[in-house]
Structure 1
């Protein structure tokens, strides 16, 4: 992205160089749907509406009629990990297990390890993630709890179509029995808390050359 474009999504990519620019365009498109009022959060329904209104030919992925040409929604799934006493590492492993189910590609052991490391690094360095723009703190309904929303796009090649790739636009809300924002600083993989998580993930099929159809945020 250029220095003028706000960055509201982290990127985890296994794409070849010729598809990287297109993946950046997807994150720019998704960034329009981040609610900028504190606490920042991603507006999933508006994002879906934006995809539905994206001009192009009519295609039918998984019986969902969506107008698009070089961008198509393939599926949307969410998962809740109920509150439990667990370490950060345990929560990361559970999150990755879910993402592996959603993704339509077979991940290698190295890919799985890199995916887990990316998520673990985010939640053990939330101060940096917030400064980068892709994680935001919020208080929870329980006065003793608070949470973070982490926004990220995971991008993997389509093994059958070299000009296409899978984009998994994802939000991960991690909640714990932590009251203050600063008390999240310095979590380690072995830190144990009463954690819960909500993961929302939309898989898109994207072809090379897609461009964000909206003006910069």
Structure 2
């Protein structure tokens, strides 16, 4: 289980392009007297004492979109279970109700605290799609295009097609899927609008290596100018709202033998 995160200072590079704002976080702490140095492509180990299987409940905290061979499926499942331990429960400041969210700093700290050769973190990015009145299908298309561009998920048409279909199916069936562990509803800051945070795990093979794959632990925050949860019910691909989105993601190289 992830502990509380330490304070970290990050160098942030911001670049804008059209209506998509990209924020690149270089996860290299600024030097302090009591701060250890980390690098995003450093090898990260999993402690031998953690080689136990998490519950099915933990595994469902991320929807998996994968094109992996059967030999890598077990390691992909272990990766999702491990990330699922950093979903936190807190009280919504507006509704005073309990809500879940994925704690990115805590997730980063989990890997910083461990060592091994099964897992390497390669990148972390956050990028946004500015608010505009468009239909849901177009918004989903922009989300998928952003992931493909920012993480260079090139040459995996089956995965990107499935990713687009999966995301749209989720947001057009929110009434049925709202209780799923991978979806979290919350009011927007100031109470003007609301959003859903959706945890998605993308897993693709590495052509040059039969024994490892690229894993993308991601969250999609889809926000609209509607205030109540049930205002999201009944959306279709052609439903038009003032949508915006924030996507976060960590890219890993995972070895076949990785165990949570």
Query: What TM-score does the superposition give when structure 1 sets the normalisation length?
Result: 0.87
Structure 1: runs of 5 or more not aligned: 57-68, 213-217
**Aligned position for 1:99:** 147
**Aligned position for 1:8:** 61
Whole-angstrom distance in 1 between the partners of 2:107 and 2:161: 29
For 2:245, which of 197, 209, 212 is the aligned residue?
Answer: 197
RCO higher in 1 or 2 (8 Å CA, sep ≥ 6)?
A: 1
Number of residue pairs matched by the alignment: 200
Give the alignment of 1:42-191 within 5 angstroms: 42-56=102-116, 69-191=117-239
For 2:70, which of 7, 17, 22 is the aligned residue?
Answer: 17
Give deviations 1:41-87, integer Å, cap 9, x for gaps.
1000110111111222xxxxxxxxxxxx1111110111111111011
**Aligned position for 2:84:** 31
Give deviations 1:119-168, integer Å, cap 9, x for gaps.
11111112333322100100112433000000010000011111010000
Whole-angstrom distance in 2 between the partners of 1:2 and 1:203: 21
Change (3 A) 1:3 1:32: closer
CA contact 2:66–2:159 (8 Å) conserved in 1? no
Q: Which runs of 4+ in 1 moved over 4 A?
A: 1-4
Whole-angstrom distance in 1 between the partners of 2:230 and 2:120: 39
CA contact 1:51–1:72 (8 Å) conserved in 2? no
> Which structure has the larger Rg?
2
Per-residue deviation, 1:104: 4.2
Structure 2: runs of 5 or more not aligned: 1-52, 91-97
Per-residue deviation, 1:209: 1.2
Whole-angstrom distance in 2 between the partners of 1:128 and 1:106: 33
**Aligned position for 1:209:** 257
Secondary structure, aligned partner of 1:132: coil
Whole-angstrom distance in 1 between the partners of 2:240 and 2:207: 39
Query: What TM-score does the superposition give when structure 2 sets the normalisation length?
Result: 0.73
**Aligned position for 1:60:** none
